[in-house]
Amino acid sequence: MVATSSSVGSGAAGAATFVGSGSRKFNYFDPRGKRATHYEDVTVDVQPDPDRYLIQNWIIEFEGGKGGGAYQKDNTAALSSNWHAFRAPDQEWERTHYQRQSKIVTMVQNVISNARKAGAHTAFDQAWCRILQAHLGAWKHAEFGLGTSLMQAQRYGYTQMINNATLTNSSYKMRLTQDITLYLAEIGMDIDGWDDELGKRTWLEDPIWQPTREAIETIMGSEDYLEQYFAINIIFEPLVGELVRSGFFMQVAAANNDFITPPVISAAEADYERNLANAIDLMYVLINDEKHSDHNRNLFQSWIAKHGSLANKAVNALQPIWSQPHSKPVAFEDVKAVSQERIGQILGELGLSR
């Protein structure tokens, strides 16, 4: 078969040389490095705006024209002289996202399945069993709240790069909340007297969890998408998220004969490393903005004050959980100190303080 509509009988690169025949790179944006990455090629400028190429401006507006066009810079109180500068360090696009997520869910299912086959749960300490039902069961709702907040937030950013980083962050959180839900449901089938509803009751009613719920609901209630993204990744995750996941479940489980929970949770810590890198990079760009540096710094400090205070309240209320297992390999104060140091490092990278 020959390409009948081609003057040279072929449609392949190199079949003819003419002006433009060698132009084989997207040339409408400046790559962050020397050459555009694959992530940049499939991401940058897909969501256009009047600053970049929309010569007709937005062509539909909200609320009879009063609500502005599809994307508005003032969806956040932060200011930027170039919203297009940010590139997500995790370089996530669809293929890498599915590869990573798929590996994680497969790993988690294998862990659960093999552990159940081996009867690993029969060795669980009784007190620990209750902790899983109540507190890991409660924690899954916290993760769900973060996931839905990020799902909400990914609608509002001014560029594709910001929104896609927020979208994948949401996807990771939604996977985690489902991983935990199904893990608990499955091991619950093998454990007599397992109460799979206890987690939600604990989340809604147990005083230990109410400050955490308040912190999450405050993030869910924010109408500033960047505040949601900041509050989650810069404040809540290091102060509360890592404290609960790593500082409690991952470190305490083994000492109570539970070798299953740590690997189920562990993927979330790796997820967070990626999302933290994305968040720090975005905030760094804004804090070092040539025109709006001071404004953004002050704004971020106000978010630290607001969400930091709620997160601290949550952390202190969670303290009794560390006393509940029979075996207590780590002390609350020690892991709390680690999380305080962690947030200090994160804020330090951004030149912010508590």
Site for other proteins in 27-66 (CB under 8 A): 27-29, 38, 41-48, 52-65
165 interacts with other proteins by CB under 8 A: no
User: With 0-12 CB in 10 A as exposed, 13-18 as middle and 19+ as buried, what is 157?
Assistant: buried
Number of residues that bind other proteins (CB under 8 A): 109
Report in angstroms how near the CB of residue 259 gets to other proteins at its nearest. 18
C-beta closer to other proteins: residue 314 or 350: 314
CA torsion sign, 188 to 189 to 191 to 194?
positive
Binding residues among 223-262 for other proteins as defined by CB under 8 A:
223
The nearest distance, CB 124 to other proteins, in angstroms, is 18
Which residues, 6 or more positions from 115, have their beta carbon under 8 angstroms from its beta carbon?
121, 187, 259, 260
Binding mask 111-140 for other proteins (x = CB under 8 A): --x--xx----------------------x
Work out which of 132, 167, 280, 317 binds other proteins, going by CB under 8 A.
167
Would you say 40 and 46 are in contact if contact means Cβ atoms under 8 Å apart? no
Answer yes or no: are the C-beta atoms of 285 and 85 closer than 8 Å: yes
Which span sits near other proteins by CB under 8 A: 14-22, 263-271, 293-301, 336-344?
A: 14-22
- Residue 49 pairs in a beta bridge with 52, 53
Nearer to other proteins, 16 or 254 (CB): 16
Those residues with Cβ within 8 angstroms of residue 59's Cβ, 6 or more apart along the chain or in another chain: 69
Q: Using the 8-state DSSP alphabet, how is residue 85 labeled? A: G
Gap between the Cα atoms of 226 and 75, Å rounded? 8
Judged by CB under 8 A, the residue of 133, 164, 275, 296 near other proteins is 164
In angstroms, what is the minimal distance from the CB of 103 to other proteins?
Answer: 8
Specify the stretch interacting with other proteins by CB under 8 A; choose among 94-102, 241-249, 329-337, 341-349.
Answer: 94-102
Among 74, 217, 294, 341, binds other proteins (CB under 8 A): 217
* Of residues 197-216, those binding other proteins (CB under 8 A): 200, 203-204, 213-214
20 versus 33: smaller Cβ distance to other proteins: 20
Q: Is 317 in contact with 267 (CB distance < 8 Å)?
A: no
Give the H/E segment covering residue 143. helix 137-153
Name the CA radius of gyration of the chain, rounded.
Answer: 24
